[in-house]
């Protein structure tokens, strides 16, 4: 039986509604039937989005959970309280259906942290919100695309904060979550994981590589003792080339730009964000709300389309693994 995937349309004042509709149209054109899809959004807003952004060409039919919470008269590109409120109501409805077993995976169009925080001050991001909803202790952000899968030990923080956040436990737990996810959701029976060092020439015994010797290396060794096939700390300036050539199935990077700069260089249009460490599948496109082009009909839905396809693949792999 095909998995059912929920899709939330994101911030109604951003490009989320547009890329959702375009992705559904692209999948219909491809005659893609790997999953059943249900959209969480506002019917009137989506109809207005069709008229504004997709005036010509065939349109896909799809089941809709209509929250009726954001009429088209409220649309104004940019961060606003009403947009943030509506976006999270779509997510909350999808979470309820995930917990009830009505859907097996979730694809989230982008939201604005600033807009959501106007009504939910403690909001950090989808990843943390879903982790709290499902009591997940260690959510891990991974980006996939262009032949790379890159997971992060730290995510959205100042660079000066990274060394303090890269601990032996954080390195080990990230490796462990990646290994489990590769087996459960990606169908890789014996994952090979590369672990970047924090510093340049991380494998060398140099004065500036102390964290790699004292923090990263022990985390890697701890994972290896758990029978996880991992290597590191490795020089980040060469490891991604090695992964692209098939030496590794996934790369664990220490911080955001270390891992995502190379990935987005090779897969800017197709990158997909995946949250690991959850009991459910969650993906999203690798871009933001793009308020500057919202409502203009020029948004590229390739990443959103890939996010839906990857969610279906992960849901099928999970079923086949029996987990």
pLDDT of amino acid 299? 97
Q: Tens digits of per-residue pLDDT, 244-260?
A: 999 999 999 999 999 99
Give SS3 for 210.
helix
Neighbours of 46 (CB within 10 A): 21
Q: Are residues 103 and 129 in the same domain?
A: yes
The span from the CA of 192 to the CA of 246, in Å, is 10
The span from the CA of 218 to the CA of 213, in Å, is 7
Q: Tens digits of per-residue pLDDT, 103-148?
A: 999 999 999 999 999 999 999 899 999 999 999 999 999 999 999 9
**DSSP character at residue 214:** I
Contacts of 265 (CB under 8 A, 6+ apart): none
Q: Are residues 75 and 205 in the same domain?
A: no
pLDDT of amino acid 294? 96
The span from the CA of 172 to the CA of 176, in Å, is 6
Q: Are residues 248 and 164 in the same domain?
A: yes
Q: Are residues 55 and 39 in the same domain?
A: yes
Q: Are residues 159 and 205 in the same domain?
A: yes
Task: Supply the CATH number for residue 73's domain.
Answer: 3.40.718.10
Q: Which residues of the chain, if any, have pLDDT below 70? A: 319-323
Half-sphere exposure of 210 (CA within 13 A, CB side): 4
pLDDT of amino acid 56? 79
pLDDT of amino acid 322? 62
Q: Are residues 130 and 145 in the same domain?
A: no
User: What are the backbone angles phi and psi of residue 37, rounded to the nearest 5°?
Assistant: -120, 140
**How far apart, in Å, are the Cα atoms of 223 and each of 49, 120, 227?**
48, 37, 7
pLDDT of amino acid 224? 98
Q: pTM of this prediction?
A: 0.94
Q: Are residues 101 and 199 in the same domain?
A: no
Q: Are residues 43 and 67 in the same domain?
A: yes
Q: Are residues 153 and 240 in the same domain?
A: yes
Number of domains observed in the structure of the chain: 2
Q: Are residues 163 and 257 in the same domain?
A: yes
Q: Are residues 255 and 155 in the same domain?
A: yes
Pairing of strands 193-196, 250-253: parallel
Distance from CA of residue 97 to its chain's centroid? 19
Residue span of the structural domain in which 59 resides? 1-135+280-323
Helix axes 168-185, 217-225, angle to 10 degrees: 40
**DSSP character at residue 38:** E
**How far apart, in Å, are the Cα atoms of 23 and each of 32, 100, 224, 301?**
11, 26, 41, 6
Q: Are residues 249 and 172 in the same domain?
A: yes
């Amino acid at each position: 039986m095909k998995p059912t995937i929920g899709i939330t349309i994101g911030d109604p004042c951003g490009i989320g509604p547009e890329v959702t509709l375009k992705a559904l149209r692209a999948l219909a054109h491809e005659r893609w039937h790997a999953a059943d899809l249900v959209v969480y959004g506002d019917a009137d807003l989506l109809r207005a989005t069709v008229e504004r952004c997709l005036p010509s060409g065939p349109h896909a039919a799809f089941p809709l959970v209509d929250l009726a919470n954001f009429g088209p008269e409220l649309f104004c590109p940019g961060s606003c309280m009403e947009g943030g409120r509506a976006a999270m109501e779509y997510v909350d409805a999808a979470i309820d259906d995930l917990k009830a077993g009505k859907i097996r995976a979730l694809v989230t169009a982008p939201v604005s942290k600033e807009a959501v925080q106007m009504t939910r001050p403690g909001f950090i991001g989808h990843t943390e919100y879903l982790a709290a909803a499902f009591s997940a202790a260690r959510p891990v952000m991974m980006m996939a695309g262009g032949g790379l899968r890159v997971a992060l030990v730290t995510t959205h923080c100042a660079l000066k904060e990274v060394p303090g956040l890269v601990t032996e436990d954080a390195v080990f737990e990230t490796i462990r979550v990646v290994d489990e996810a590769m087996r459960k959701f990606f169908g890789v029976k014996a994952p090979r994981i590369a672990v970047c060092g924090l510093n340049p020439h991380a494998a060398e015994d140099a004065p500036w590589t102390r964290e790699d010797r004292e923090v990263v290396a022990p985390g890697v060794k701890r994972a290896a003792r758990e029978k996880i096939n991992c290597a590191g700390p490795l020089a980040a300036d060469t490891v991604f080339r090695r992964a692209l050539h098939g030496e590794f199935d996934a790369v664990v990077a220490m911080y955001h730009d270390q891992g995502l700069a190379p990935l987005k260089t090779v897969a800017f249009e197709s990158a997909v964000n995946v949250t690991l460490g959850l009991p459910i599948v969650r993906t999203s496109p690798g871009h933001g709300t793009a308020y500057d082009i919202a409502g203009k009909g020029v948004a590229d839905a390739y990443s959103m389309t890939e996010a839906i396809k990857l969610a279906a693949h992960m849901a099928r792999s999970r079923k086949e693994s029996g987990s």
